[in-house]
A = this chain, B = another copy of it.
Amino acid sequence: MALTETLEDYLQAIFHEENEKGMARVKDVAKKLAVRASSVVEAVNRLKEAGYVLYEKGDFIRLTEPGQEVAQRTFERNLVVYRFLDQVLGVEPEHARKLTCGIEHHMDRQFFDALSALCFFFERNSDVQEKFRRFADSYEKGMICDMYATLDQFGKGDTLKVIKVSGDAFLRQRLIAMGLTPGQEIVIERVAPLGDPVDVVLRGYHLSLRKEEAKCIKVEKI
């Protein structure tokens, strides 16, 4: 009887309406979630089925005890994720809000506890907070991911490990079929002038690669 992401959002909206106005009405929930009233009625009937709300048509929507508990828990998740994005990572409020509404549905107790602790940790240790801020600023976008070298950048005698094969599907399939799979070790045997072709050895076999092909092979020197 686990709720879907959507129903968790409805429950949370009802919870907020009850707390803010004392009761939840179809219209207000609809507005809060940016859906039509008819969608709310449908969702509320599902929640009623599941035992999370009381609802008789014409009346207000009311959370049951279990409903309240679930809503409370979801809301606490929301709070901690938002706090993490906002205070620790410095994500823009606008974005943070939206991301939070997605992430809050993908949490378990362990994650919740650890994330809470992390927020507290940063709050209590402003020196760490400061240090991280400086550290993060020094990372300009793009510096972190996809920083692998490609095969064509190395020379005779280098021993390399294949990390990834890029390029279009057909080329990639061909290269992988030759044995250039992630994890494979290769040794450069010879590089022709201008880098084309590059001869390599892997698993005892020789392979001659065009420069264009070598560029598709992301490697790490070992």
Please tell me if the beta carbons of B128 and A114 are within 8 angstroms of each other in the complex.
no
Q: Which of A146-166 contact B (CB under 8 A)?
A: 146, 164-166
A169 contact from B64, B88, B146, Cβ within 8 A: B64
Flag whether A109 is at the interface (Cβ < 8 A).
yes
**Chain A contact surface mostly:** helix
> Residues of A within 8 Å of B, CB-based: how many?
65
Flag whether A22 is at the interface (Cβ < 8 A).
yes
Flag whether A203 is at the interface (Cβ < 8 A).
no
Please tell me if the beta carbons of A169 and B54 are within 8 angstroms of each other in the complex.
yes
Please tell me if the beta carbons of B116 and A144 are within 8 angstroms of each other in the complex.
yes
| A220 CA / B113 CA spacing, docked (Å) | 23
| A113 CA / B95 CA spacing, docked (Å) | 14
B-side contacts of A135, CB under 8 Å: 117, 120-121, 124
Q: Which of A77-114 contact B (CB under 8 A)?
A: 80, 85, 88-92, 95, 99, 102-103, 105-111, 113-114
User: Copies of this chain, how many?
Assistant: 2
Given A64-B169, A89-B118: A22 in contact with B177 (beta carbons within 8 A): yes
Contact string, A169-199, partner B, CB cutoff 8 A, digits 1/0? 1101100110001100000000000000000
Please tell me if the beta carbons of A111 and B88 are within 8 angstroms of each other in the complex.
no
Given A102-B105, A105-B102: A62 in contact with B169 (beta carbons within 8 A): yes
Please tell me if the beta carbons of A99 and B91 are within 8 angstroms of each other in the complex.
no
Q: Considering the complex, give the chain B residue whose CB is closest to the CB of A175.
A: B22
Flag whether A212 is at the interface (Cβ < 8 A).
no
Given A63-B169, A89-B114: A125 in contact with B136 (beta carbons within 8 A): no
| A121 CA / B90 CA spacing, docked (Å) | 15
B-side contacts of A57, CB under 8 Å: none
> Which residues does A use to contact B, with CB under 8 Å?
18-23, 54, 60, 62-65, 68, 72, 76, 80, 85, 88-92, 95, 99, 102-103, 105-111, 113-118, 120-121, 124-125, 128, 131-132, 135-136, 139, 141, 144-146, 164-166, 168-170, 172-173, 176-177, 181-182
